[in-house]
Structure 1
Amino acid sequence: MKPPKEHGVTGSLESIARGVRLGELDPVELAERAIHRAQQVSGLGAVVHIDVDGARQAAQAVAGTRTGPLAGVPLLVKEIIEVRGLPHRCGSRVFADRVGTSDAAVVRRARNAGAVIIGLSHSHEFAYGCTGTSNRIGPCRNPHDPSRMAGGSSAGSAAAVAAGVVPLALGSDTAGSVRIPAALCGVVGAKPARGTLPLDGVFPLSPSLDHVGVLTASVADARLATEVLGGVDLSTWSLPGAPTLGIPANPEPLDCSTTVGDAYSASIDRLAAAGASIVEIPLPRWPEMTATALDLQGPEANRVHAGRMADHAEDYQSDVLERLRAGAGISARRHERARHHAAELAATVDQLLRTVDAIVLPTVPVVAPPLEAKDVGEAGQRLPVREVLLRNTRPANLTGHPALSLPVPAASRLPVGLQLIAAENAHAFAVAEWVEQVINDERGAST
């Protein structure tokens, strides 16, 4: 089931930009449609600020030049990413009056490519949460069911793309913050390899783990956006045939709800039927990778906020404040040990990824939980919702490898995501496009 997209901006990034360059599409009209759609679905809380005047002026400028690989493409920017002249609140009352004084590097690149910034998308406060429920304005709601989470922390970016507000949104990903909401909202979320998209001007959460990513409706759109915004060529490698796909031998990533488990198994069967070779891959111990990531993230986040917490504790969301304070309990020695261990784990995973074209696993083990959920799972086996949502996405931030989430068919009105992790960006996007094509062909055959 897909949420309605009345009056939204449709079409691929390439077709939109080409239409604008050829004079077949009016960038001002595209901006107006995006603004209208944002207002139409304002109850989702996905868009925290609409820059009506700025978007119109930018669209008029594009109408005058009609150039750029993203010419006229409406864009939303996650509110932790600085945009000159727009609020830079990071979803928090701590920065209630803060305004961006310059564009983040990734925003400058988007403008230079012809994209039109419509406004800012919802972030879990300071990007320190995976549910999208803690923000100065309230939660971000899932377009498929507004009583459920959109995921986080790039909640608004995923929800806005799913609801048809924009075809492209920027997000950040420290432990899964692009891929989790992509999976829960049914869109494509791409976290390219560490350093591909610049972090300059992005409010930090954990510098060792932070990445910038994109949310789109298709892998091809995510590829184009990554190439343009990262200044990289992703055509340097292509699949010689059907890929070799690794599935984790570890039990933890495949410990899923029935809905997700069935969708994952069915997807693997479809990919195998299309020619993919499926092999088991013994990844490093899951608890070890999770603990290492936590020992990096906790103290780094605490250091970013230590001074502010002392003076503005009452302005933080309670869940975020609790996590920030907990980070102070991790010693410098433990953090340094985690830093070295992360490098060892990255090298191990890198070697394993040389034996397959990509590893595939469920992005999130459950479908979108209710907004008020504190835990999820079957009766007697319930776990904290944060622990479950983050279970399968942390490793790719720890190792820095590229990872994408794309929607797959499920026997549910709520989306399910399939995550692919690869050794390099070109491999990740090529395999993801192959997988997406197989899935889309299967959808077409079943309708």
Structure 2
Amino acid sequence: MSTLTRVRMAYARIDAVDRPEVWIDLRPQAEVEAEASAIDARLAAGEPLPLAGKLFAAKGNIDVEGLPTTAGCPAYAYHPETDAPVIARLRNAGAIVLGTTNLDQFATGLVGTRSPYGPVRNAHDPTRISGGSSSGSATAVALGIVDFALGTDTAGSGRVPAAFNGIVGLKPTRGLVPTTGVVPACASLDCVTVFARTLPEAEQALAHMSSPPDRDLPPLPQRAPGPWRVAVPPLDQLGELDPGWAQAYEAAVAQLRSAGVSVRTLDLTPFTEAAAMLYQGAFVAERYTAVGAFVDKLLPEGGEAAASLDPTVAGIITRARDIPAHQLYADQERLAALRTHALAELADADALLLPTAPGHPTLAEVAADPLGANARLGRFTNSTNLFDLAAVAVPAGEVNGLPFGVMLIGPAFTDERLATMARLLQPEARLTVVGAHLSGQPLNPQLLALGARLERTTTTAPVYRLHALATTPPKPGLVHVGATGTGGAAIEAEVWRLPAEGLGRFLAALPRPMTLGRVELADGTHVPGFLCEPAALEGADDITTYGGWRAFLNDRS
């Protein structure tokens, strides 16, 4: 598929999902199409562009040349003259940025509702929060608009939205990805993160975003030979979880065990005590350092500019102004002790497995208790950057029809190790498509929204016939007719890979007359794919001679 076609599909998807609150500024389609055409021309000329055809979005506190950087506050907006280095690196590799996304103002929050641009609704249930502060970025990925998106993570903002939207969130070791050109929340803790529907997509983007470490590499913990070792806390240390979440977490632990991982217990106390310190202690003063002078100047002026400040965010920042210096020194001493305790608890473990969040509140619940709901969400994420750890958040099934996620946390610079272990929680399935779910076709976004990625284009074995069904949107019916020589033909097909859990959701909603069966491919392998009930063929045109659905549509047009 050309980059230009992918861009047109993305803008059509934006119109179809009708989620204006996802975006702060969207680039004009004509401008993006021109950039896409240039990318296609460079590819045709043989230029290596490893991210060509990939579309992404950037959180609204990251500089994108040509768009204002607002950090979620219109009165704060400035116009950067250049892309932030992380944006420039992705564009140099051929990726195209569509626009900047909504966020909890000044990246202060884990809810995704603290914005004058409106609360970002969850991709799966619009009555629930998307999670913040990187709310728009995560939702743009989950809705199938972009291939990946950039967020930031100080207290969990690159992981909580991933969990709530059923996608992957990579929070790298601090310093691996430059934060130049990023409006700081807490500069000493901030990380630029990446969301994607699958781990390979997230890892590919992160590889192009990263730099050599900005500090001396500490010696990595030496692993004794043997299986991966993952630490888990006793269930009673997790505190109150939403109904069904403890069972979902235990299922993730069981899945690791079944994959051969050695699981042992640890004391979670130092992690949860440090998490409480991030907002309740003196460390929140760094948020005042970032934007406090701006907020102090704006509030007395009143008017429209002051009205663009989110009251919850403004309250957090202004209260941080008066924290005494001696409290910061005391908190630093306490944090150092907690970190020593936490690392001792991890000891020879390769990672700690936790639920990404303790629950998924509704918009109404957050509105009723904005501070309490937000504090609860950071129970497992707040300590990660305080302890200088790396993390990866991945989907781990569903609870009551909504995504449930877990995260693996490990020492600094063990990012690749964490991603390798996370793959054990991400079983994949394969699916063969021949019609409306092909790349560029109307139903392809359904696959993309489930985290699917194209494995290859091929043909079926010559044992099928293809019919044009009278459905909306139009789609073909593939029917097995027997061995070679009995009227069958090879039909163009695509094989997609997607999370096994996503395939289950997809098939549960599969409408008649479509069925799932084993499709024989040209190389003799059999892959699950869409077939058609024979009764639906009555009156349908046989279009086998075209060799595929695309060829039929092209001829008809």
TM-score (norm 2): 0.69
3-state SS, counterpart of residue 409 of structure 1: strand
Quick one: structure 1 residues 62 and 296, their matched pair in 2 at CA, closer, same or farther if it must change by over 3 Å?
A: farther
- In structure 2, C-alpha distance between the alignment counterparts of 1:255 and 1:310, rounded to whole Å: 37
Q: Return the offset for 1:68.
A: 2.1
Match of 2:35 among 49, 52, 58: 58
In the alignment, what sits opposite 2:289? Answer: 303
Q: How many residues align?
A: 415
2:272–2:380 contact (8 Å) kept in structure 1: no
Q: Return the offset for 1:340.
A: 4.5
Deviates more, 1:311-320 or 1:245-254: 245-254
Structure 1 vs Structure 2: percent identity of aligned residues?
A: 30
- In structure 2, C-alpha distance between the alignment counterparts of 1:430 and 1:176, rounded to whole Å: 21
In the alignment, what sits opposite 1:272? Answer: 257
3-state SS, counterpart of residue 81 of structure 2: coil
In the alignment, what sits opposite 2:494? Answer: none
Deviates more, 1:194-203 or 1:336-345: 336-345
Amino acid at match of 2:165: C
1:226–1:232 contact (8 Å) kept in structure 2: no
3-state SS, counterpart of residue 6 of structure 2: helix
Amino acid at match of 1:79: G
Q: Return the offset for 1:121.
A: 1.3
- In structure 2, C-alpha distance between the alignment counterparts of 1:266 and 1:93, rounded to whole Å: 44
In the alignment, what sits opposite 2:311? Answer: 318
Amino acid at match of 1:370: T
- In structure 1, C-alpha distance between the alignment counterparts of 2:504 and 2:170, rounded to whole Å: 27
Match of 1:335 among 328, 341, 360: 328
Amino acid at match of 2:329: E
- In structure 1, C-alpha distance between the alignment counterparts of 2:500 and 2:366, rounded to whole Å: 38
Q: Return the offset for 1:157.
A: 0.9
2:123–2:165 contact (8 Å) kept in structure 1: yes
Amino acid at match of 1:57: A
Quick one: structure 1 residues 324 and 358, their matched pair in 2 at CA, closer, same or farther if it must change by over 3 Å?
A: same
- In structure 2, C-alpha distance between the alignment counterparts of 1:201 and 1:258, rounded to whole Å: 41
Amino acid at match of 1:47: W
1:77–1:119 contact (8 Å) kept in structure 2: yes
Structure of greater relative contact order (alpha carbons < 8 Å, 6+ residues apart): 1
Quick one: structure 1 residues 59 and 347, their matched pair in 2 at CA, closer, same or farther if it must change by over 3 Å?
A: farther
In the alignment, what sits opposite 1:8? Answer: none
3-state SS, counterpart of residue 175 of structure 2: coil
- In structure 1, C-alpha distance between the alignment counterparts of 2:190 and 2:85, rounded to whole Å: 15
Structure in which a larger fraction of residues adopt helix: 1
Quick one: structure 1 residues 284 and 319, their matched pair in 2 at CA, closer, same or farther if it must change by over 3 Å?
A: same
Match of 1:47 among 7, 23, 39: 23
- In structure 2, C-alpha distance between the alignment counterparts of 1:239 and 1:138, rounded to whole Å: 50
- Structure 1, unaligned runs of 5 or more: 1-24
Q: Return the offset for 1:286.
A: 4.1
In the alignment, what sits opposite 2:407? Answer: 419
Q: Return the offset for 1:404.
A: 1.2
Q: Return the offset for 1:273.
A: 2.3
Match of 2:427 among 427, 437, 440: 437
Match of 1:124 among 99, 104, 111: 104
In the alignment, what sits opposite 2:53? Answer: 72
Match of 1:290 among 261, 275, 289: 275
- In structure 2, C-alpha distance between the alignment counterparts of 1:442 and 1:155, rounded to whole Å: 23
1:250–1:283 contact (8 Å) kept in structure 2: no
2:64–2:83 contact (8 Å) kept in structure 1: yes
Quick one: structure 1 residues 92 and 47, their matched pair in 2 at CA, closer, same or farther if it must change by over 3 Å?
A: same
- In structure 1, C-alpha distance between the alignment counterparts of 2:158 and 2:195, rounded to whole Å: 7
Deviates more, 1:99-108 or 1:178-187: 99-108
Q: Return the offset for 1:376.
A: 9.3
3-state SS, counterpart of residue 39 of structure 1: helix
3-state SS, counterpart of residue 61 of structure 1: helix
Aligned: 1:399 with 2:387: yes
In the alignment, what sits opposite 1:372? Answer: 364
Aligned: 1:170 with 2:160: no
Q: Return the offset for 1:339.
A: 3.5
3-state SS, counterpart of residue 56 of structure 2: strand
- In structure 2, C-alpha distance between the alignment counterparts of 1:84 and 1:444, rounded to whole Å: 38
Structure in which a larger fraction of residues adopt strand: 2
Aligned: 1:84 with 2:76: no
- In structure 2, C-alpha distance between the alignment counterparts of 1:376 and 1:176, rounded to whole Å: 22
What are the superposed Cα offsets for residues 364-405 of structure 1, whole Å, 9 maximum, x if unpaired?
A: 1112x211213899xxxx992111111111111211211111
Quick one: structure 1 residues 312 and 142, their matched pair in 2 at CA, closer, same or farther if it must change by over 3 Å?
A: same
- In structure 2, C-alpha distance between the alignment counterparts of 1:325 and 1:310, rounded to whole Å: 7
Match of 1:259 among 232, 244, 250: 244
In the alignment, what sits opposite 1:187? Answer: 167
Deviates more, 1:397-406 or 1:195-204: 397-406
Match of 1:355 among 336, 340, 348: 348
2:276–2:382 contact (8 Å) kept in structure 1: no
What are the superposed Cα offsets for residues 188-214 of structure 1, whole Å, 9 maximum, x if unpaired?
A: 111011111110000000012211100
- In structure 2, C-alpha distance between the alignment counterparts of 1:409 and 1:310, rounded to whole Å: 44
Deviates more, 1:409-418 or 1:252-261: 252-261
3-state SS, counterpart of residue 267 of structure 1: helix
Q: Return the offset for 1:241.
A: 6.7
| RMSD of equivalent CA atoms | 2.8
Deviates more, 1:181-190 or 1:25-34: 25-34
- In structure 1, C-alpha distance between the alignment counterparts of 2:504 and 2:139, rounded to whole Å: 28
1:81–1:104 contact (8 Å) kept in structure 2: yes
- In structure 1, C-alpha distance between the alignment counterparts of 2:86 and 2:282, rounded to whole Å: 25
- In structure 2, C-alpha distance between the alignment counterparts of 1:28 and 1:415, rounded to whole Å: 32
Quick one: structure 1 residues 434 and 334, their matched pair in 2 at CA, closer, same or farther if it must change by over 3 Å?
A: same
1:244–1:278 contact (8 Å) kept in structure 2: yes
Deviates more, 1:245-254 or 1:212-221: 245-254
Q: Return the offset for 1:238.
A: 11
Q: Return the offset for 1:108.
A: 0.9
Q: Return the offset for 1:252.
A: 4.1
Quick one: structure 1 residues 200 and 346, their matched pair in 2 at CA, closer, same or farther if it must change by over 3 Å?
A: farther
Amino acid at match of 2:52: A
In the alignment, what sits opposite 1:22? Answer: none
Q: Return the offset for 1:308.
A: 1.2
Deviates more, 1:277-286 or 1:245-254: 245-254
3-state SS, counterpart of residue 232 of structure 2: strand
1:171–1:213 contact (8 Å) kept in structure 2: yes
- In structure 1, C-alpha distance between the alignment counterparts of 2:297 and 2:63, rounded to whole Å: 23
Amino acid at match of 2:400: S
1:208–1:296 contact (8 Å) kept in structure 2: no
Aligned: 1:281 with 2:266: yes
Q: Return the offset for 1:344.
A: 4.6
What are the superposed Cα offsets for residues 257-294 of structure 1, whole Å, 9 maximum, x if unpaired?
A: 22211211122122222322210012453453024323
1:72–1:114 contact (8 Å) kept in structure 2: yes
